[in-house]
Amino acid sequence: MSQTPTQVEMHPERWGDPAKAAPLPENVRGLIGLVFETTDTPATPAATLPPPAIDAALLDELGEAVGVEHVLTDDETRRRRTRGKSTPDLLRARAGDLADAPDAVVRPGSHEEVAAVLAWAVQHHVAVVPFGGGTCVTGGLAARRDGYAGLVSLDLVRMKRLLAVDHHSMTAVLEPGLRGPEAEALLAAEGLTLGHYPQSWEFASIGGFAATRSSGQSSAGYGRFDALVVGLRVATPRGEVALGSAPANAAGPDLRQLFLGSEGAFGVITAVTVRVRALPERKTYDGWRWPSFEAGAEAMRILAQAGLLPTVLRLSDEAETGINLARPDEIGGEGSGGCLMIAGYEGTPEAVEAKRSAVGAVLAGLGGTDLGEEPGRSWAHGRFEAPYLRDSLLDAGVLVETLETATFWANRDRLYTGVKEALEQSLGEGAMVLCHISHVYETGCSLYFTVAQQAAADPLAQWLPAKAAANDAIVAAGATITHHHAVGTDHQPWLVHEIGVLGASVLRAVKRDLDPTDILNPGVLVP
Amino acid sequence: MSQTPTQVEMHPERWGDPAKAAPLPENVRGLIGLVFETTDTPATPAATLPPPAIDAALLDELGEAVGVEHVLTDDETRRRRTRGKSTPDLLRARAGDLADAPDAVVRPGSHEEVAAVLAWAVQHHVAVVPFGGGTCVTGGLAARRDGYAGLVSLDLVRMKRLLAVDHHSMTAVLEPGLRGPEAEALLAAEGLTLGHYPQSWEFASIGGFAATRSSGQSSAGYGRFDALVVGLRVATPRGEVALGSAPANAAGPDLRQLFLGSEGAFGVITAVTVRVRALPERKTYDGWRWPSFEAGAEAMRILAQAGLLPTVLRLSDEAETGINLARPDEIGGEGSGGCLMIAGYEGTPEAVEAKRSAVGAVLAGLGGTDLGEEPGRSWAHGRFEAPYLRDSLLDAGVLVETLETATFWANRDRLYTGVKEALEQSLGEGAMVLCHISHVYETGCSLYFTVAQQAAADPLAQWLPAKAAANDAIVAAGATITHHHAVGTDHQPWLVHEIGVLGASVLRAVKRDLDPTDILNPGVLVP
């Protein structure tokens, strides 16, 4: 149990498995070359780490709590626990900026050891940044460190157990450090699945899914992560919180929903009880073509309100359909215009066929064109690849980033137009703004934007105003600042527009109560 | 808008419409007489109200805020705003105990007027009890008044508007004072339904549904009330909170879920944005017989986990099936043993038939006996009648009360047995303990108990230890102290066992933040 599982560590300045890094595919280079003047960027300058700010004697104390071998201060480990994987994070890392590096990385192996780390941090006023998969794209790993004796990364990499399975209630208790594929593998051995597949799935962790209210590509069928959680165990500086007495209750406010989305600011999630489902025997993903984004979105709305949602349902706008970012190896291939929808079905063969037939009838009746399984296979094949493409584009001198929001159906077009225009205006002529809908509800949907533009001399100074303009447009449209990427530090200035001055005050009150000395992720989430 | 709508006022000492009060039906008398020695109770003694504790000059100030005609201090109005409708509430009212009567009843007509009442109450340190339908069964209307200049009932009876309808997003904005039938009538005129039908539906209010996390008889099809809410407006002593930027988001903790279930202790809900559905064209309720409670419950679990839930799904245990409380006029009629399940379907004729056929195939395959539509019609006919029967039983000297809980499937039998034994042991020989499951989830279900016993000389002293024993058994089984009746004052001592010392601390922190002088429902909910 004290053994640290080996796992592929992400490249500190790129997404994902370093072995998968690749130069920009020629076809993409060709297409992008039509729009941007691409350049080959030089190799990353050697980054220098500031020396650890925490006294060795204090770290020895920490080592007594978790084992000296689990308190790491080597440059490589600190570098790999610096920030997350937003484009600004990558740009800063590429520029050799390691100002947010932790002084040490501590790896507790149990709830009790997490509690011991927090007690140590309170005693010595050290800031603590809980670290799961490190895939955050909203600055949630860049806590404030001024005024603290130091900053440690609390790495959950040793907490990777499936603690319990209840086949009768169809629940499982998972430790927070399990990455998506690890959790699915443990559940698959029991004939079960969680069915939570965000794009970050290969590296993101169970604790992170809960702490950020993640939503996966199969959210229409399996539900958002917050809908999958029936219980939580949390270590806070003031002690343990354990919630989850029933699937639902009326015993006051649902406090589970206060810790879901708490981004490590209220406590460290040490176990998550999730609803699970039987492993699907069959997975089928179909492509449909729509004459316009509007027509496809209307079809999604009608399906959702008819209670006929497939497991996966996504729709690219005209621009994204033209580019097909989901399938880098096909970029620049022939397109036949319109908007591509993917409708995927998972379950028993009978359930898949029944739903597919019912959904197909509705879509065909609404004017959709059935493209068969090839576009679906293509999407499924490339579903986790886009972040690698981003690295290759950055290498080639293209600024690329994503952002997302959600709103009610009646407000969808206003939000789409507002955000698109804000981004195009900020990034200037030649900017590419692509969009898709990937999470659908009875009352509304998400909008996920991908943006590309020729990188300026200072791409960070180029992107940050564009992101701010998009956030302003989101707030002006009355939509949410984030549908599934959390608040972090990047969205924090806009949060108060969404939850109001008193909503922010409530978050501060809860924070003060559970973390009175403000050691947990200071500066993250709480306005 | 300043006109107060006329509405049927509930009898201050009984459930519901006074015109519907009736003596105990002969058939019930016959059956109950076999078990209990029934008596005809004397008429209620004349109750005397303590004089209003609030100075007339202060009430004049309040009148300036909402209109003098909306500040009422007459005995009859105060009496009708005293406590809720639990059996202990009725027993206290019948015994002439009006100690919890408000000094005045104030009827604000808008969010702004609610805010003005709260400002007045803060200024003069007057306790405020928000009042919707008055159907609470957990002591949520019996706030603490010691240490206050007085106590007012904040009656939402004038706030009964449908503020907005969005047919595209399928949402509606409702004011909190709308009773169930009023809300449904306004929505029906738009071709819509909320589909929320708790047993209290005829009198309970939209604000109350939200403040108590209500769950209705059609929860399997339409969802619990908390699942129907997409937005909230709340007046707090510190100002307004408005939430609901999207169907779902990752912008930190879901603060909507902090106000849902807040029982008037954090603020007064002044508008609720709900998800709505098309009015069902067809409603069909079928009866099924199962050889045992266990077999029927297993069938429910299998349906829920197969994604095949009907709109209504309920199952009585052997004892309740024998009595059939849902149909008072049939009590004592012939029964053929086993356990009765009602499976109801609402929607388009095609959707009803498709679901009914799929569910029917599963139930028949599991050993259920299809009883056709007659038991379903019977249940639908009597679904709101049980509380009237309780009054008639109390009149006849029978103590009768209900309580409910929920747990995960694997824990269902342990919870059922534990609560049943606790009640039987406390109430002694001859006690009747009936149970049904009426809310079903993939991971678990609710258990709703109805208890009857010959009333002792002091029925309150007879019931309270039984209720405490049941609560202890619920806590011992790790279940929730309430699935859909909220915490109030009655469940409050047990809440800390469910949410822990730190969970309780968080509730206090939120309370302090939003209501720093503790004027809102003092003593209710927050431990």
- Tokens representing A420? 């698109």
Confidence label for B48 from pLDDT (cuts 50, 70 and 90): confident
The answer to whether residue A244 scores a pLDDT higher than 60 is: yes
Q: Give the model confidence (pLDDT) of B62-77 as tens digits.
A: 999 999 999 999 999 9
Q: How far A110 CA sits from the closest chain B CA (Å)?
A: 20
Instruction: Tell whether the model's pLDDT for residue B325 goes beyond 70.
Output: no
Q: Nearest-5° angle of CA A391, CA A395, CA A396?
A: 120
How far, rounded to the nearest angstrom, does the alpha carbon of residue B389 sit from its chain's CA centroid?
17
Q: Does residue A153 carry a pLDDT above 90?
A: yes
Both tokens of B356, joined, read 């009914």
Least confident of A19-28, A84-93, B72-81: A19-28
pLDDT at A76 exceeding the cut of 90: yes
Per-residue pLDDT averaged across B109-132, rounded?
Answer: 98
Please measure the distance between the N-terminal and C-terminal CA atoms of chain B and give it in whole angstroms.
38
Contacts of A504 in chain B (CB under 8 A): none
Give residue A133's identity as a one-letter amino acid code.
Answer: G
* pLDDT tens string B298-315: 999 999 999 999 999 999
Is the confidence at residue B333, as pLDDT, over 80?
A: no
Measured between beta carbons, the chain B residues lying within 8 angstroms of A243 are: 499-500, 503
From B224's Cα to the closest Cα of chain A, the distance in A is: 9
Share of chain B above pLDDT 70, in %: 95
According to the model, what pLDDT value does residue A2 have? 40
The residue among A273, A299, A347, A267 whose CA lies nearest residue A519 is: A267
CA distance B60 to B71: 8
Residue B519 has what pLDDT?
98
- What pTM did the predictor assign? 0.96
| Segment A448-505, tens digit of pLDDT | 999 999 999 999 999 999 999 999 999 999 999 999 999 999 999 999 999 999 999 9
Condensed to tens digits (0 to 9), the pLDDT of residues B369-428 reads 999 999 999 999 889 998 999 999 999 999 999 999 999 999 999 999 999 999 999 999
Report residue A510 as tokens: 């809860």
In 3D, which of B335, A235, A198, B366 has the Cα closest to residue B343? B366
Question: Is A325 a residue whose pLDDT tops 80?
Answer: no
Cβ(A440)–Cβ(A396) below 8 Å: no
Average pLDDT, integer, range A259-271? 98
How sure is the predictor about A336, in pLDDT bands with cuts at 50, 70 and 90? Answer: low
How far is it, in rounded angstroms, from Cα B400 to Cα A478? 50
pLDDT for residue A36 is more than 90: no
Mean pLDDT taken over chain A: 94
**pLDDT value of position B38:** 77
B495, pLDDT greater than 50: yes
Find the mean pLDDT for residues B112-136: 98
Closest CA to A205 of A156, A132, A259: A132
Q: How confident is the model at residue B45 (pLDDT cuts 50, 70, 90)?
A: low
Confidence of residue B443 (pLDDT cuts 50, 70, 90): very high
- Residues in A closer than 8 angstroms to B481, CB to CB, are 245, 249, 251
Which of the residues B225, B491, B505, B506 would you substitute to probe the A interface, choosing the one with the greatest number of A C-beta atoms within 10 Å? B506
Helix axes A492-514, B492-514, angle to 10 degrees: 130
In this prediction, residue A29 carries a pLDDT of 80
* B245/A478 Cβ within 8 A: yes
pLDDT band at A333 (very low <50, low <70, confident <90, very high): low
Amino acid at B453: Q
Nearest of A384, A216, A196, A383 to residue B250 by alpha carbon: A216
Per-residue pLDDT tens digits for B250-286? 999 999 999 999 999 999 999 999 999 999 999 999 9
Q: What is the pLDDT of residue A46?
A: 65
Give the contacts of A28 (CB within 8 A, at least 6 positions apart).
Answer: A328, A331, A332, A389, A392, A393
Q: Do A338 and A318 touch, CB atoms closer than 8 A?
A: yes
Q: Do B405 and A246 touch (CB under 8 A)?
A: yes
Q: Which of B443, B448, B512, B525 to mutate to test the interface with A (most CBs of A within 10 A)?
A: B443
Amino acid at residue number B86: S
pLDDT at B309 (0 to 100): 97
Closest CB from A254, A263, A525 relative to B261: A254
Listed range (A357-361, A380-384, A509-513) with the worst mean pLDDT: A380-384
Q: Pairing relation of β-strands B71-72 and A444-454? A: unpaired
Q: How far is CA A182 from CA A198, A260, B527, in A?
A: 14, 21, 40
| pLDDT (average), residues B176-194 | 98
Cβ(B162)–Cβ(B186) below 8 Å:
yes
CA end-to-end span of chain A, whole Å? 38
Q: Are A76 and A127 in contact (CB under 8 A)?
A: no
SS3 track for B246-313: CCCCCCCCCCHHHHCCCCCCCCEEEEEEEECEECCCEEEEEEEEECCHHHHHHHHHHHHHCCCCCCEE
